[in-house]
Structure 1
């Protein structure tokens, strides 16, 4: 059973582990009745742990991608005030190394082939064969022996929930520091439509397939210069939203313990038939396969597109800047209003994104572990999510309240930019939801209300969502080789079926093509990994 996040003190962790020594490895989550620490106890832990280095003698190199929006105002995360606070609190100096934007995976591979590894490496899962293969090959350090003494906050968090425990541990070893959600955030990716057009057409917000068709038809009749609808094959968010009404997800998913994929789902043909129908009627824009994301944004913002899927925060921010049109988000599309959908977002609190490993070249592993643990400590969690207390925020009536540094920046930084300069938006940490700490959402009550719109939809659940599985190196290699070929084949066939270049009466030939490319074997590997995960 999932429990609300808490920070445990070193005293509680010691009790949890039964007083085991530094090398002991917890092999199962703690019992649910473990004692919680008081704020005073948690503060004592941080006093004992930090500073990790008192004489300024330790400098560690940290390899991590830098977000493109951050580069608009800073050259390196060395200028980020939250990271500066982490360096001050831990006593560990950090030398940041950033790959070129858009080249992270390519430069990661170059980094690994060179052998001269930095001390800490973000996106450790880029390693060919996965994180555990990186450990087996000697690139990454096993963190487990260090956690009790050097990362008690992280240790407590990954042991408090059995799903998190499954995600992080493999063979009783912990190799990376991962992002851990303190609670599940509100879904942020939804269909967008023009509210001003709905009013003009005297229509309600579309919910069902018939509602969308009526909206698209009205656009064709009354807005002849606009395309009614855009859908992209290559985006998982789009696939999840629009495939959900056909009782499937846009990637791997699990149905009552059975691994499934839309590639060979019995309902995939019905989805393709619908998309082809919309393409044939002119609802789906003819150049849907070639348009880039920024081009689609511009089409919607300029009144040349009636519906597409987007981050609600992104769309709201752009609309506020333009201020010349109205839009709204829609609930997950469905065939009928009473249909129960299973395409809700993952409920897993641990994710592999931004996972950070310590390399075997690390000059001071204990200092590195203590530095990374800071993001899960009481002070570090607040610093990483909100910024530096007293500068970015103050505690008012028991709640953090942002200052003008974040909400009305004196240097002219936008709300999006301050999120990258004065807090840590991406990285391994205990994650507080955007609805509580993202400046752009916090400042504007309408933005927060827009983010929460449809979050109470009881006709959407997440029972199909699947945890990120840990495949063996051999499984990873075999499945990757199959999926590389299969995904290219499916994308090509989807395009041909939707545009009519290939008639849907040849769908059985498509299914045979999956078999010829060993997709059944890829499913078998995934099922084996899932069964192993559930036994962990």
Structure 2
């Protein structure tokens, strides 16, 4: 019998006895039965405090409003008081919280990005090392780790500690959701093939600029929008075998922006900028302006997501029968080559729910979190409530119209957010069937197929500096990243001559990039030994 169902039956029986005893005594003290965070009430129920950023404040004031968590409370008899830090202040509030005298029972965040790494917080006595608890109280999660040793490697520290119940993504389809987005209808109108090489991209962008694909008789087309930090230009920098950050070749770590190949990439961007192929206002273009440029039929290509870009823009332009977006493969230099990078992520992205040492019911909390990794929890947190947000059709969990064609006019992502956190992250495994249904437009599916192409063999795994290295590394890279972003934009826009690239490299070297690379190298070697 399910452990939580058994507990619930016992609770009902105990409650019946309690009613009789209370009636006989003629009085009751309700304050004794109040449930405070981290403590059990007299009836055996448990209340937990849970700190997590609200990923959908546009839809949910609090995660207690989410149907999956409401149902989980019914099943497990565990009530959760969610504490959401102010948007944009998550890191600051996390740091303040960790130095305070009182911690919430559960803390969900990107643990791989915390200063000092998660092992520091285990050693500092802030969060619990979960290995033994998982062996004894988390059979679902333990089975997942036993069956997927590479996942276990990802969610452990270099010392072998498991520090959270992680967000894991089930399939390659879940890992691919971002890449070059292009106006498919413009390609067809101008009789152009989908670009695969840098040269083909140049041909396409030039045609977008000169051949009036929006048909308004004006030269108002913007061929390509890049990101102001040039981070999303990775689609093009990857063609040169480098990235905007750290990567490795056969286990040796390199920093992309100081490589000779990076100068080739910047030369390309500068040439395209001078030709008017890159949005002249890219540095000042925020999301609102980007939306306007897409929906006003000005923008030919950008970097974007399968959902919030392709799906959303197609919905916004649904009355325009010609408008069509799709994803282009990550470009290469030579026709027929496989892209070296495609920005696909690993099964684990660092998000997880840790248990704090202030938690007075660690074993029960482990059991509560473990429920999500079993078959019923997997369905609950990916699909919601059977008969309401999904139906089983020929063995396939199929979202209903409340998700896919919401009667209140909500988008699919908004509809999902009311039921499940599958659209972002949390301590559960994101289902392949979620990704298949969220990307249900032919254009989205075409994009995913194109974006999946790429070896990513040079991509760094999620590595962790030691506690001693962490502050040193952060100090070095904070300064370098600020300088790098500023100079990349100057090089692209021609405000700084590319003749100064060697000086740019020397400056980054003087700022300590060699030491930062050494730290990354050591971390990679420790990761490989996990």
Normalising to structure 2: TM-score of the pair?
A: 0.85
Which of residues 436, 442, 446 in structure 1 aligns to 2:442?
446
Aligned residue in 1 for 2:326: 328
Whole-angstrom CA distance in 2 between matches of 1:198 and 1:51: 61
Q: Is the 8 A contact 1:482 1:517 kept in 2?
A: yes
Whole-angstrom CA distance in 2 between matches of 1:101 and 1:347: 24
Whole-angstrom CA distance in 1 between matches of 2:472 and 2:348: 25
Which of residues 192, 199, 204 in structure 2 aligns to 1:215?
204
Give, in angstroms, the shift of residue 332 of structure 1. 1.0
Aligned residue in 2 for 1:248: 242
Aligned residue in 1 for 2:526: 532
Task: Write the mapping of 1:293-442 to structure 2, written as runs, cut at 5 A.
Answer: 293-314=287-308, 315-323=310-318, 324=320, 325-346=323-344, 348-353=346-351, 355-425=352-422, 426-433=425-432, 436-437=433-434, 441=438
Whole-angstrom CA distance in 2 between matches of 1:304 and 1:500: 24
Aligned residue in 1 for 2:49: 61
Distance 1:163 1:526, change over 3 A: same
Distance 1:279 1:51, change over 3 A: farther
Which of residues 140, 160, 166 in structure 2 aligns to 1:172?
160
Task: Establish whether residue 105 from structure 1 lines up as the match of residue 91 from structure 2.
Answer: yes
Runs of 5+ unmatched residues, structure 2: 12-42, 213-218
Aligned residue in 1 for 2:178: 189
Q: Is the 8 A contact 2:49 2:83 kept in 1?
A: yes
Which of residues 276, 281, 290 in structure 1 aligns to 2:275?
281
What SS does the aligned partner of 1:332 have? coil
Whole-angstrom CA distance in 2 between matches of 1:521 and 1:51: 56
Whole-angstrom CA distance in 2 between matches of 1:144 and 1:123: 19
Distance 1:216 1:402, change over 3 A: closer
Q: Is the 8 A contact 2:230 2:489 kept in 1?
A: no
Whole-angstrom CA distance in 1 between matches of 2:398 and 2:413: 17
Give, in angstroms, the shift of residue 49 of structure 1. 5.9
Q: Deviations over 1:129-164 (max 9, x none)?
A: 221111111111111221123211112222333322
Whole-angstrom CA distance in 1 between matches of 2:304 and 2:442: 18
Give, in angstroms, the shift of residue 189 of structure 1. 1.3
Moved over 6 A (4+): none
What SS does the aligned partner of 2:499 have? helix
Which of residues 220, 223, 226 in structure 2 aligns to 1:225?
220
Give, in angstroms, the shift of residue 277 of structure 1. 0.6
Whole-angstrom CA distance in 1 between matches of 2:110 and 2:5: 26
Distance 1:384 1:400, change over 3 A: same
Number of residue pairs the alignment of both structures matches: 482
What SS does the aligned partner of 1:174 have? coil
Normalising to structure 1: TM-score of the pair?
A: 0.85
Give, in angstroms, the shift of residue 513 of structure 1. 0.7
Give, in angstroms, the shift of residue 412 of structure 1. 4.3
Distance 1:326 1:394, change over 3 A: closer
Give, in angstroms, the shift of residue 239 of structure 1. 3.3
Task: Establish whether residue 136 from structure 1 lines up as the match of residue 113 from structure 2.
Answer: no
Whole-angstrom CA distance in 2 between matches of 1:534 and 1:500: 42
Q: Deviations over 1:98-130 (max 9, x none)?
A: 112222222222322333211101116254322
Whole-angstrom CA distance in 1 between matches of 2:438 and 2:410: 16
In angstroms, what is the RMSD of aligned CA positions?
2.2
What SS does the aligned partner of 1:388 have? coil
Whole-angstrom CA distance in 1 between matches of 2:405 and 2:338: 43
Larger radius of gyration: 2
Q: Is the 8 A contact 2:179 2:303 kept in 1?
A: yes
Q: Is the 8 A contact 2:177 2:344 kept in 1?
A: no
Whole-angstrom CA distance in 2 between matches of 1:216 and 1:408: 35
Task: Establish whether residue 199 from structure 1 lines up as the match of residue 185 from structure 2.
Answer: no
